[in-house]
A and B are shown apart, each in its own frame.
Chain A
């Protein structure tokens, strides 16, 4: 194409230049008009041919093929890949974040607890089956200690609620993420250790409808504003009334699908109003430690809730086996990038 351009339009030896020199410039005055018109027509048609060729796609492709420094834009980009947040850590942070925006401060506590903080203060009767070594992982050599001082792996993060209430007076809003342990046979959905997020709200005049409203708001923040919640009576030693909360299925919107076992609902957490016996245990301990009682059950009430992080993460990301969260298999983790 460049050769064609030079041949016709070249400034020194282009044919148009030669034609112009040989004919147009020397033409008699009366013929100049006609020759000029023909000369211009020829020039326009040459330029048109050139411009058409230049714009044609074939030419563009050819041109890029022949450009030495051209890049293959379809090759993958190179980069030092950043690390990937752990899906459980990320899910936990999101849950904690939702409650943080609702005024809840984060509370943390030890993973090895005493019977007092894990069971006694939470209104578990002395011979409750949860205390059995078949259900709870215990530290060795505890038999010669009084029951309440025996060390065990905490079975829930609720002891942190107790510790916080012993430290602080109401009002209190607390969200407690952490690892918990059960002596359980492990399968695709259960592990002996798992991550939990619990919450506690204590003040004067906290009601069951406040519990419902708070959790409904939190679930909408976590799963989208169209999610609905419903509550069923349940039983936990440390709350009364106690409830199980379900959310409308986030996959089918409540119509029923395989993930919700065609019920339209997914069970998500346990909750309830703090049992007065828990407040009484807290105040007894406060007095024992030389503090003033602060949780008068005639004036103070509260609610608590707890959810398993694995379950929520499995549901969200479609993880079929809970064990995957703990294998550190890069092929699994990198999918969360």
Chain B
């Protein structure tokens, strides 16, 4: 909202500071001046950004009050007093509140014999400087009252009002033609200002069209009231109408301000349009509401509590009782002098419904004192720092994957319903009530679809070498009970790390396997691989399951052709889905060192032809089955298949494998080595292998 410094200063005749200084000091007190512009009427126009709890300061008088507190200068009272006398005696206008829980106060005043024209004088000047659209003098008078003191008011064409005013709940289905020209159908919870026959306006939100003041209007009824914040908020939301009036009422208006605002508007209308004020100001008050607002019971403020919450000031003096008293008084509180224990009894101002507790007053003291006048102190601490149990394991996962060339990525927490069903456990994805988009209708049950999208995103931008991992939360269960778990996904596409065992076609798979081997080697427990229970998003025959200590912890493989085609992936993508929660719960492997032998290790290589049905697991098993304690290691060095079937028949592969022997006690003899190699040859032959001549 915009405010004029000239208008603010009209309430502060002795204000000693420049507009620039005022802007800075207000901002430091939470009444933020976001912009300062020259105003057409002289002085400056401030563009304000005031937090929603401070509706009382969203007007000129409210900011003047803050200013008075900051600089300790006198604030002119809003001299609108109840002394505004009727120029012609008459009956008070009949007003009845039928919904006292929603309308706490209603004031009404009659002005007769007005001539409606455009506003002149201060109103016209200030409105021009503020860019406030002039409408007609009576309507501008209500807007002036709102800008001056933050109290919304309304003017009715009195001749359109039949009988008296009734403030009541709407009849469900009742229609109302509003000032903005729209026709609204009301519900029973809407509060209306009505006459004996019909609804005239939507209370606290917007006036009605038929009863509006026009150039033809000669008699006016001025309304100023107080409405229940929750009721106005509900009405405003229900009808999608956010107005200046609803903004104030839904945050709590000043219960005491209604008569003053009514007097102000009445006086302005008469000054601008002539006419006579007829009869007294009618002021219907619901005493229960008054007791909860304007007449709230005083609260206590202990001087010692101010220091306990706020601490040390830069000048080292702390905040003295007289400073507290001065600040709060300037803000409109009434303080009964402190008792022996240093406790004040504070009567709260009617316009500050946000103040209700001792801490609220302490905040006011800190605010007016200035936050930056408090010292920087560091509290002492007697506790200890506790590390979460899985943190070390999580660091191990991250550092291992980074070292292996995988960059960390963060993807969307949401997935489409189809993806959730495809990649998560069936029927266990959680639907969002108000999804950001159709593609984000579920909480992700797996990180894999997000990883596939990230690979796709790179490939679509012609970035063809991608190694990524994501460590994040996945969600399963139902909308009644959501289970969260940490998961890990890896994605790989591009040129694989070169190996001698796999064809170029298979190399990506084996790189991913190598990465998972390195990762799982960080954790205690034996790691095994099989091809059981694979999810459907793998290309058949191109995926594997990983077990750690007998428990399935990961799945990895090539994304199925169907899924790849759906994502328009031009090259093979290998993905891994790791149950990180299970992994992180396991102990890290504690390295245990073997003594290094003084004696030389010797290798013996064997070249064999195997049918493809003989897998490496069987070959290694057969050699380990020989139970030769000196056999330290068995490794495949080369695997060769010939698709043309020339060098090696189709359905077979040749393998060069290496055995490494070493003893802790002696140098191995040729005889021993020859004997072991012969046993190995026999074992592999039994397995179905055929030894090839050494090259």
Q: Which residues of A contact B (CB under 8 A)?
A: 80-86, 88-89, 100, 103-106, 108, 110-112, 127, 133, 137-142, 151, 153, 171-173, 179, 181, 183, 192-193, 201, 203, 205-210, 212-214, 216-217, 230-235, 240-243, 273, 275-276, 301, 325-331, 333-334
Contact = CB atoms under 8 A, between A and B. Distances in A.
B28 A192 contact: no
Given A83-B407, A84-B408, A232 B27 contact: yes
B482 A243 contact: no
Nearest to A241: B363
Contact of A330 (B359, B383, B385, B407): B407
A94 to B, nearest CB: 14
A329 B457 contact: yes
Given A201-B379, A207-B377, A213-B376, 7 more contacts: A138-B434, A210-B311, A230-B371, A241-B309, A325-B410, A327-B454, A328-B454
B196 to A, nearest CB: 33
Given A83-B469, A327-B457, A89 B408 contact: yes
B182 interface: no
Nearest to B390: A108
B468 interface: yes
Given A83-B402, A183-B434, A210-B311, A232 B382 contact: no
Most central of A105, A201, A207, A217 by chain B CB within 10 Å: A207
- A interface secondary structure, majority: mixed
Interface string B461-487: 101011111000101000110101000
Contact of B407 (A86, A232, A243, A326): A86
A84 B402 CA distance: 6
Contacts of A273: 309, 359
Nearest to B402: A83
Contacts of A85: 398, 402, 407-408
B312 interface: yes
B185 interface: no
A63 B544 CA distance: 57
Given A104-B385, A133-B433, A151 B479 contact: yes
Interface string B536-550: 000000000000000
Interface string B209-239: 0000000000000000000001001100000
Interface stretch (B47-55, B95-103, B133-141): B47-55
Contacts of A212: 371, 374-377
Contacts of B434: 133, 137-138, 183
Interface residues of B, number: 81
Contacts of A241: 309-310, 362-363, 366-367, 371
Contacts of B411: 326, 328
Contact of A216 (B376, B384, B409, B413): B376
A195 B693 CA distance: 63
A80 B54 contact: no
24 contacts: A80-B405, A80-B497, A81-B405, A86-B407, A105-B384, A105-B386, A106-B387, A106-B388, A111-B473, A139-B433, A141-B431, A141-B479, A171-B383, A173-B385, A192-B436, A209-B377, A213-B379, A214-B378, A217-B378, A233-B51, A234-B30, A240-B363, A329-B463, A333-B408
Most central of A206, A232, A301 by chain B CB within 10 Å: A232
A334 B458 CA distance: 13
A45 B432 CA distance: 94
Interface of B: 27-30, 32, 51-54, 230, 233-234, 308-313, 357, 359-360, 362-363, 366-367, 371-372, 374-379, 381-388, 391, 398, 401-413, 430-436, 443, 454, 457-458, 461, 463, 465-469, 473, 475, 479-480, 482, 484, 497
Given A112-B482, A171-B383, A276-B357, A141 B433 contact: yes
A202 B239 CA distance: 44
B53 A171 contact: no
B376 A209 contact: yes
Contacts of A205: 308, 379
A207 B386 contact: no
Contact of A86 (B312, B381, B409, B430): B409
A301 B405 contact: no
B359 A276 contact: yes
Contact of A83 (B52, B357, B404): B404
Given A83-B404, A83-B405, A112-B482, A235 B51 contact: yes
Nearest to A183: B434
Contacts of A100: 385
B35 to A, nearest CB: 11
A138 B432 contact: yes
Contact of B377 (A153, A210, A275): A210
A139 B431 CA distance: 6
A201 B484 CA distance: 27
B233 A127 contact: yes
Contacts of A86: 407-410
Nearest to B470: A328
B458 A111 contact: no
What 8 A-B pairs are tightest by C-beta distance, nearest first? A233-B30, A207-B311, A209-B311, A213-B376, A328-B409, A328-B454, A235-B51, A86-B408
Contacts of B468: 328, 330
A83 B466 CA distance: 10
A139 B410 contact: no
